[in-house]
Amino acid sequence: MTRGILLFAHGARDPRWAEPFREICLRVRSLQPTVAVDLCFLELMTPSLQQATTDLVVRGITHLTVVPLFMAQGGHLRQDLPVLIDSLRAQYPQLTIHVTTALGDSPELLGAIAQWVGVISAQSTT
């Protein structure tokens, strides 16, 4: 296994906040059994992006995709994440790192959310 995916979420003080992200991680693992898939956080929770990347490098990962689980390209993705990625690239020059766009940049995901809103709002009127 030389490929890894890190699902990168914000983090929160309440550990229950991470439950949906952990579920996404489990589902991605089941869809990509030959890829190392882990969850990491910007702040307030562990592991951090740095810790999770180190763990994957130790496991032999040479190609890493970082997937920000943020709805939009705000300050964390425009400012904080590039600094973190630059630091990782300097620390692990042998590691190829690709960062995807925010969730809200996916027309498919926006469509799925719109459909869900339609279903849930229809249920509330019955």
Tell me: the pLDDT tens digits for 41-66?
Answer: 999 999 999 999 999 999 999 999 99
**What is the rounded average pLDDT of the residues 104-121?**
94
Contact between 6 and 49 under an 8 Å Cβ cutoff? The reply is: yes
pLDDT for residue 111 is more than 80: yes
pLDDT of residue 126: 60
Mean pLDDT of the chain: 95
Task: Please state which CATH number belongs to domain 3-123.
Answer: 3.40.50.1400
Question: CA distances (Å), 81 to each of 49, 61, 104, 111, in order?
Answer: 9, 20, 17, 26
Tokens read off for 16: 């229950």
How far is it, in rounded angstroms, from Cα 56 to Cα 51? 9
pLDDT of residue 76: 86
Interacting residues of 105 by C-beta distance below 8 A, sequence separation 6+:
73
Interacting residues of 8 by C-beta distance below 8 A, sequence separation 6+:
40, 41, 42, 49, 66, 67, 68, 69, 70, 81
